[in-house]
Amino acid sequence: MADPRFFTRAGPFTLNQLAKATGATLGPEAPGDLDVVDVMPLAMADEGHLTFIDNRKYLDAFRTTKASAVFAAPALEAQAPEGAALLLTEDPYRAFAVAATMFYPRPKVEPGIHPGAHVASGAEVAPTSRVEAAAVIQDGAVIGDNCLIGPGAVIESGVAIGADCIIGAGVTLQHCLVGDRVIIHPGVRAGQDGFGFAPGPDGHLKVPQLGRVVIESDVEIGANTTIDRGAGPDTVIGAGSKIDNLVQIAHNVRIGRGCIIVSQVGISGSTQIDDFVMIGGQAGLTGHLAIGKGARIAAQSGVMRDVPPGATIGGSPAKDMRDWLKESAALSRLVRKKGG
Amino acid sequence: MADPRFFTRAGPFTLNQLAKATGATLGPEAPGDLDVVDVMPLAMADEGHLTFIDNRKYLDAFRTTKASAVFAAPALEAQAPEGAALLLTEDPYRAFAVAATMFYPRPKVEPGIHPGAHVASGAEVAPTSRVEAAAVIQDGAVIGDNCLIGPGAVIESGVAIGADCIIGAGVTLQHCLVGDRVIIHPGVRAGQDGFGFAPGPDGHLKVPQLGRVVIESDVEIGANTTIDRGAGPDTVIGAGSKIDNLVQIAHNVRIGRGCIIVSQVGISGSTQIDDFVMIGGQAGLTGHLAIGKGARIAAQSGVMRDVPPGATIGGSPAKDMRDWLKESAALSRLVRKKGG
Amino acid sequence: MADPRFFTRAGPFTLNQLAKATGATLGPEAPGDLDVVDVMPLAMADEGHLTFIDNRKYLDAFRTTKASAVFAAPALEAQAPEGAALLLTEDPYRAFAVAATMFYPRPKVEPGIHPGAHVASGAEVAPTSRVEAAAVIQDGAVIGDNCLIGPGAVIESGVAIGADCIIGAGVTLQHCLVGDRVIIHPGVRAGQDGFGFAPGPDGHLKVPQLGRVVIESDVEIGANTTIDRGAGPDTVIGAGSKIDNLVQIAHNVRIGRGCIIVSQVGISGSTQIDDFVMIGGQAGLTGHLAIGKGARIAAQSGVMRDVPPGATIGGSPAKDMRDWLKESAALSRLVRKKGG
């Protein structure tokens, strides 16, 4: 089980309860009243545990698992290990996510303001929310219901945060409007000045940055990621988008709904990213681009042109993924042919 | 206008006032006593607003703008929209920067030490400066006039900061000497140990890092950027240089005056960068290089050799920009010719 | 000498003392009772100083140095400058590291809890350790002997830290177990949720992250680096490994002993890195890889396949270093031949 120093387990739950909560169907030999006591990855699962298989690469582990129950696709039913109850579903990973959340629910926020927190008299904090030690909430800031403001977090003047948000330790927010159910991990910086200068030989003149950062509901932002506020328009992170650690999002960028942006990506100013775009780690996008809906950008890509909806691109400079792979292959052949 | 939750607008200002402040000339039909109430990007400008055009790509928007006044180059005079007063200048963006700062000046620092700040008895803070809640200023640190030390910022022993500086929330400074008018955005780490080890099979032995970080006047440093102190010599950021977010600057690096370094760049130990160098996002420079004055390094470049003054380079490994572009084109042709 | 604002020098030490401590041998004309008062890089060394040479590139500086004593390999004995005493050793840089630590030892931790620190009643802090202002230590956290918890650092519930550790300013640790003699530089984030979602058109479902971060003894972690906790297994940083600034380490990654990971590297989820691997700056590794013992990965590499022990690879996608260099050369030739 997860280390009890850090995690509190709920349960047990019966297979019937789990099937109902996840939309899975009990396999033919699965006893609905069987108790499961914990969730576990396939490689670590033992008696009493619930696990899942969503990758044929792990079929051998599946066939020999000692887990008491397994979320699996119906197509795998014939290969089930003896003694393991199946919970059949077309999306075993998603079902496992639901079940894991039942066993390890997010801890309830204990309302209250730590005596070591610094909440300005002109700030509004909902009485259902918690503010930890050394956190700072300035005048004019508004914190909605059931929020957790972590130790040392700084919510500057005028920032508004919706309900059910987690603001991690050491986060700093300025000039931000934040929706509901947003999770911001430790060290995120949002709302500081964008990188705007009128360059010149006698000095680069700072251009006032007059926009905001708008973080819509159900967004999650990874540790030490930076999001600059808009220069005039806002910088916007669309609802349900997930951003990993150490990502850079420049001023005026708009990210659509449901995007996934992996660690260390950099997005330059004013680039517009439509819904459900996926961007691999360390990719970089220049400014003023339009990235179409559902586009997929490979890790370490260098994107210098607009990307059409649904396209998959890679390389630096980035091009259609197939072209990039062909070019890599052609270059290898060129060397081999010449005897290197 | 900019969201009044976060910004306080000054003005109005007459065209005469704006022309005088920016060095622009009134166009032939511009009434000098006309009041302008706000600044706005071209796409959002309306009656009463002052905007600018500095890119022919936006000529259509220029021709149809409802803005009351526009900074524009004299060459565009003939295409001015009816009813818009022109403020003629060869550098419209710079003029706009000046005007925007008139409408939205940096808020004055309200002197004082927040009761929740931790200022050691052996620290010196000028009475004109402000220290916010949860900030920590250790013994021997010196803060000059009119500085703002943000919430949760940490100024360690002996650090000296000049006048008119802004140290953002959650910044940590050690072993640093900071000039005047320096802006350090939230989460910057400066002055920690460089990455110095004598490697060996029985363990990598730490080499004491005995230098400092010297940040000259008028420097701006972006959020979560890291600058290690020198190993023996200092790490130096030259006057007027602007550094974006999440940049890594290793020990002993010297950056000249007026450089622009975009987000996620990494500069390895002891590399020397001359004045007015520009480095695009995510570029990486190995150690012990000399980068000549005015050199331009494209985004995502991998720089492994010295760069002559004025050169423009790209690619990884980086080479002359034209060669890099030719190679990319040749590779594409190679694939096309072979039918892919 | 190092700036006395920041550094306190010990000594002087005699050549005999230095030879004994470093395992070096006195050169034939080196007086064992000669006092040395400071350490200095070769380019800056003067009378009374001890320096070192470990790179033939600096032979000229060696031949003319005014330093009183020099760590040098026996092979260089004949080229020694007149008047400089030699301390002969096969690893001059390592000897210098030892000597520099004698002159500039790590300051002793002054035990005590700053009145501005926030230590929960259910936390255990060894009486030999120090907790600085605005630091937060939550219930159930345990801090061993002789630790320094920097200003504004946050040690969340249940985190256990061994002896002789330095936790820098503004660090946040959750779900972490930390060994002895670990140095964590400012702004490091360890133990937050990994980037785990079951994606779907109606929203990406968060997968509970139920592992920990285990940081073994003698590890050093650079500023603003992020280390996510495991999803089920732990994320592990092996003993003696050194990690630079702004590195991303995703959930379930295991790093072996004695690895060196340079700034801005990104390591994706579940990748396993064996002992003594070196990874150059800005390299990226995809998930679920196995990197063999002693492998060397060049800066900016994009690693998408397993790497055998001892291999040296480069490029993106990464391949054997020699192949990568040949391909780069072939591409240059291709362009030159065609007249560009």
Q: What is the pLDDT along chain A (340 residues), one digit of tens a residue?
A: 799 999 999 999 999 999 999 999 999 889 999 999 999 999 899 999 999 998 888 899 999 999 999 999 999 998 888 889 999 999 999 999 999 999 999 999 999 999 999 999 999 999 999 999 999 999 999 999 999 999 999 999 999 999 999 999 999 999 999 999 999 999 999 999 999 999 888 899 999 999 999 999 999 999 999 999 999 999 999 999 999 999 999 999 999 999 999 999 999 999 999 999 999 999 999 999 999 999 999 999 999 999 999 999 999 999 999 999 999 888 888 887 654 4
Determine what percent of chain B is predicted with pLDDT higher than 70: 99
pLDDT tens for residues B119-143? 999 999 999 999 999 999 999 999 9
Optimal mutation site among C335, C336, C338, interface B, most CBs of chain B within 10 A: C335
Give how far C233 is from chain A: nearest CA, Å: 8
For residue C100, which amino acid is it? A
- B216: pLDDT strictly greater than 50: yes
Residues A329, A187 share a domain: yes
B286 within a domain of the structure (yes/no)? yes
Give how far B211 is from chain C: nearest CA, Å: 6
Tell whether the torsion through CA atoms of A280, A281, A285 and A290 is positive or negative.
positive
B38 strand-pairing partners: B49
Backbone angles phi, psi at C250, to 5 degrees: -85, 180
Are B81 and B64 a contacting pair, CB within 8 Å? yes
User: Chain A within 8 Å of C152 (Cβ-Cβ)?
Assistant: yes
CATH number at residue A82: 3.40.1390.10
- B266: pLDDT strictly greater than 90: yes
Are B192 and B206 a contacting pair, CB within 8 Å? no
Residues B217, B326 share a domain: yes
Structure tokens given for B213? 């970080």
Give how far C31 is from chain B: nearest CA, Å: 26
Query: What CA–CA distance (Å, rounded) separates A171 from A132?
Result: 12
Considering only CB atoms, C335 lies closest to which of B248, B268, B330, namely: B330
> Alpha helices, DSSP H only, in chain A?
15-22, 59-64, 92-103, 321-337
Which of the residue ranges B181-195, B213-227, B320-334, C28-42 would you say has the lowest mean pLDDT?
B320-334
Interface touch C206/A101, C-beta < 8 Å: yes
Optimal mutation site among B42, B118, B219, B224, interface A, most CBs of chain A within 10 A: B224
User: Chain C within 8 Å of A116 (Cβ-Cβ)?
Assistant: yes
Domain final residue pick, A57, A74, A103: A103
Residues C324, C187 share a domain: yes
Backbone angles phi, psi at B267, to 5 degrees: -120, 120
CB atoms within 10 A of CB A130: 21
Residue C213: in which H helix or E strand, if any? strand C213-215
Residue C87: in which H helix or E strand, if any? strand C85-88
- B256: pLDDT strictly greater than 80: yes
Question: What are the chain C neighbours of A22 within 8 Å (beta carbons)?
Answer: none
Q: Chain B neighbours among C 117-146 (CB < 8 Å)? A: 132-134
Structure tokens given for C111? 């035990």
Are A14 and A87 a contacting pair, CB within 8 Å? no
Is B251 among the residues known to form the active site? yes
Are B240 and A204 a contacting pair, CB within 8 Å? yes
Residues B180, B68 share a domain: no
- Select from A36, A138, A126 the least CA-distant residue to A87: A36
Considering only CB atoms, B226 lies closest to which of C6, C246, C276, namely: C246
Residues C330, C210 share a domain: yes
CATH number at residue B264: 2.160.10.10
Backbone angles phi, psi at A288, to 5 degrees: 60, 25
Give how far C258 is from chain A: nearest CA, Å: 25
Residues A230, A90 share a domain: no
Query: What CA–CA distance (Å, rounded) separates B159 from B135?
Result: 14
Domain final residue pick, C79, C103, C127: C103
A44 within a domain of the structure (yes/no)? yes
Structural domain boundaries, residue C235: 174-340
- Contacts B–C by Cβ distance under 8 A: 184
Predicted model pTM: 0.97
Are A239 and A218 a contacting pair, CB within 8 Å? yes
Query: What CA–CA distance (Å, rounded) separates C73 from C88?
Result: 5
Residues B308, B192 share a domain: yes
First to last CA, chain B: 54
Residues A194, A302 share a domain: yes
3-state DSSP of C298-335: CCCCEECCCECCCCEEECCCCEEHHHHHHHHHHHHHHH
Residues C48, C197 share a domain: no
Query: What CA–CA distance (Å, rounded) separates B31 from B80?
Result: 15
Q: Which residues does C108 contact at the CB level (< 8 Å), separation at least 6?
A: none
pLDDT at B55: 85
C77 within a domain of the structure (yes/no)? yes
Query: What CA–CA distance (Å, rounded) separates B302 from B282?
Result: 9
C122 within a domain of the structure (yes/no)? no
Tell whether the torsion through CA atoms of B77, B81, B85 and B89 is positive or negative.
negative
Nearest CA in chain A to B92: A198
Domain final residue pick, B67, B88, B103: B103
Q: How many CA atoms lie within 13 A of A17 on its CB side?
A: 14
Q: Which of A49, A175, A185, A251 is catalytic?
A: A251
Segment B134-138 long-range contacts (CB within 8 Å, at least 24 positions apart) = B134/A118, B134/A134, B134/A135, B134/A136, B134/A152, B134/A154, B134/C134, B134/C152, B135/C134, B136/C116, B136/C132, B136/C133, B136/C134, B136/C151, B136/C152, B136/C169, B138/C151
**Whether residue A12 has a cis bond before it, omega within 30° of 0:** yes
Are B72 and B53 a contacting pair, CB within 8 Å? yes
B168 within a domain of the structure (yes/no)? no
User: Chain A within 8 Å of B93 (Cβ-Cβ)?
Assistant: yes
pLDDT at A56: 85
pLDDT tens for residues A162-200? 999 999 999 999 999 999 999 999 999 999 999 999 988
Q: Which chains touch C (3 or more CB pairs under 8 A)?
A: A, B
Optimal mutation site among B136, B167, B216, B331, interface A, most CBs of chain A within 10 A: B331
User: Chain B within 8 Å of C21 (Cβ-Cβ)?
Assistant: no
Query: Tokens 């000549």 — which residue?
Result: B292
Q: How many domains does chain B have?
A: 2
Residues B338, B247 share a domain: yes
Question: What are the chain C neighbours of B248 within 8 Å (beta carbons)?
Answer: 244-246, 263-264, 281
Give 3-state DSSP helix, strand, coil % of chain C, rounded to 5. 15, 25, 55
B199 within a domain of the structure (yes/no)? yes
Query: What CA–CA distance (Å, rounded) separates B315 from B327?
Result: 10
Q: Which residues does A142 contact at the CB level (< 8 Å), separation at least 6?
A: A123, A124, A159, A160, A161
Query: What CA–CA distance (Å, rounded) separates A310 from A292?
Result: 7
Question: What 3-state class would DSSP assign to A176?
Answer: strand
For residue B37, which amino acid is it? V
pLDDT tens for residues B91-126? 999 999 999 999 999 999 999 999 999 999 999 999
b or e along A158-168 (b: 16 or more beta carbons within 10 Å of the residue's beta carbon)? Answer: bbbbbbbbbbb
pLDDT tens for residues C228-251? 999 999 999 999 999 999 999 999
**Distances C152 to B53, B165, C2, C106 between C-alpha atoms, Å:** 45, 21, 27, 21
pLDDT tens for residues C128-165? 999 999 999 999 999 999 999 999 999 999 999 999 99
Q: Chain A neighbours among B 42-61 (CB < 8 Å)? A: 44
Question: What are the chain C neighbours of A98 within 8 Å (beta carbons)?
Answer: 205
Of residues C171 and B340, which shows the higher confidence score? C171
Question: What are the chain C neighbours of B131 within 8 Å (beta carbons)?
Answer: none
**DSSP secondary structure of A210-239:** ---EEE-TT-EE-TT-EEPPPSSS-EEE-T
- Mean pLDDT, rounded, of chain C: 95
User: Chain B within 8 Å of A175 (Cβ-Cβ)?
Assistant: yes
Backbone angles phi, psi at C244, to 5 degrees: -85, -170
Query: What CA–CA distance (Å, rounded) separates C322 from C313?
Result: 8
Q: Which residues does C144 contact at the CB level (< 8 Å), separation at least 6?
A: C126, C129, C161, C162, C163, C164, C165, C180
Structure tokens given for B231? 């190993």
**DSSP secondary structure of C9-58:** ----EEHHHHHHHHT-EE-TT--TT-EE-EE--GGG--TTEEEE---GGG
Query: What CA–CA distance (Å, rounded) separates B312 from B321?
Result: 6
Give how far B189 is from chain C: nearest CA, Å: 7
For residue C187, which amino acid is it? G
Are B30 and B15 a contacting pair, CB within 8 Å? yes
Residues C99, C17 share a domain: yes
Segment B280-288 long-range contacts (CB within 8 Å, at least 24 positions apart) = B281/A248, B281/A266, B281/A268, B281/A284, B281/A286, B281/B244, B282/A266, B282/A282, B282/A284, B282/A302, B282/C282, B283/B318, B284/B316, B284/C264, B284/C281, B284/C282, B284/C299, B284/C300, B286/C281, B286/C299, B287/B250
pLDDT at A340: 40
Residues C225, C333 share a domain: yes
b or e along C105-131 (b: 16 or more beta carbons within 10 Å of the residue's beta carbon)? Answer: eeeebebebbebbbbbeebebeebbbb
Nearest CA in chain A to C252: A41
User: Chain B within 8 Å of C181 (Cβ-Cβ)?
Assistant: no
CB atoms within 10 A of CB A112: 14
- Select from C174, C173, C178, C185 the least CA-distant residue to C160: C178
Residue B333 pLDDT class (50, 70, 90 cuts)? confident
Considering only CB atoms, B170 lies closest to which of A157, A172, A200, namely: A172
User: Chain B within 8 Å of C248 (Cβ-Cβ)?
Assistant: no
The predicted model gives B182-203 an average pLDDT of 94
**Distances A89 to A39, C126, C196, C199 between C-alpha atoms, Å:** 17, 51, 20, 15
Classify burial at B325, counting beta carbons within 10 Å of its beta carbon; exposed 0-12, middle 13-18, buried 19 or more: middle
Query: What CA–CA distance (Å, rounded) separates A219 from C204?
Result: 10
pLDDT at C337: 64
pLDDT at C340: 41
